[in-house]
Structure 1
């Protein structure tokens, strides 16, 4: 959770190092698809900072600006993120639909590819958490249904439907997701 200026700088530096391409100016100039997720994550972190910090009267203007810009970028990219759900080191490789609801808690250094959905098993599910550990890789087309806990250093294969808890250091895949192998 970003609460101080130092936290914001650390988050931005970590994600900038992950997402930075040597020709970022050319990506911006050519309006590359990879540039919009980069802007969305950057705007998300600044919005989280102004949302969490103790605001004075002058902070209303940047808070309103980042809130508006974050919502605009969410619609433009099709990536539905919520503030204070993802720890530092988020990597969104390609643009495309992602829905990560506010009941999700994602750890550090996670990579999330397009067409990923975090949802509930039943409509009347109420408040249920999805907890994902550090250093996870969520491939394209994955559906994660709450309540579920995914451990650290987990790779989820393409098209998997995760509806049960997953231990640390493993690769899962299939419908429903099963452990394919353990990492060493």
Structure 2
């Protein structure tokens, strides 16, 4: 991950949480002066991944230190997402508690994850593989996604659903096992942030 990508991801994540972005907002989030402690967790997670993936040995060392702090936040907030997990921009976690995600999960942009969500492997088959989740996916409270399933774009997964099979684009699923109950795109709150090109091209990637 390049530094510009880190800045863009943080910009998108905070915009999705608060509906706006500023440098002062970032400072308040890091100082825990804002009401969503999960925002701080997401920023620290992004920074940790950036540092650990750097070619700089110094940054790698910093990444280990940030990793220790990330672990403390995991215990405090009840969120277990590894810094090796590939998560695209616009991640939103409105509520803390009981969130567990396998390290090899792949998350698309504008994913919303509520409390009590587990995304893991199937111990009986494909033990070391996990889900690939598309863009604009909403995962409701208590939902479980098990095994190397593929979740399409614009999907809504209802509360307490258990997903064990692939899900197509633009549907709402619910139940155990999860089944399609409606052909309707998901709703993305505060998804009107700048595109990557708008933000980065021509020096627009500088923090404002």
The question of a shared fold, defined as TM-score above 0.5 by the shorter chain, is answered with yes
Unaligned runs of 5+ in 2: 186-208
Distance 1:28 1:55 in 2: 29
**Equivalent residue of 1:135, what SS?**
coil
Q: Pick the structure with more strand per residue.
A: 1
Q: Please show how residues 13-32 of structure 1 align to structure 2 within 5 Å.
A: 13-20=11-18, 28-29=32-33, 32=35
Partners of 2:13 and 2:170 in 1: CA distance: 23
Q: 1:18-167 counterparts in 2 under 5 A?
A: 18-20=16-18, 28-29=32-33, 32=35, 34=36, 36-56=37-57, 58-83=58-83, 84-123=85-124, 125-167=126-168
* 1:16 counterpart SS class: helix
CA distance in 1, matches of 2:121, 2:151: 15
Displacement of 1:67: 1.1
Tell me: higher relative CO, structure 1 or 2? Use CA pairs within 8 A at least 6 residues apart: 2
- Summarize the Cα distance change of 1:177–1:92 in structure 2 as closer, same or farther, 3 Å threshold: same
RMSD: 2.3
Any stretches of 5+ residues in structure 1 without a counterpart?
A: none
TM-score under structure 1 normalisation? 0.87
Matched pairs, number: 178
SS at match of 1:7: helix
CA deviation map 1:117-140 (0-9, x unaligned) = 112333464222311100000000
TM-score in terms of structure 2 length: 0.78
Counterpart contact for 2:32–2:40, Cα < 8 Å:
no
Alpha-carbon deviation of 1:39?
0.9
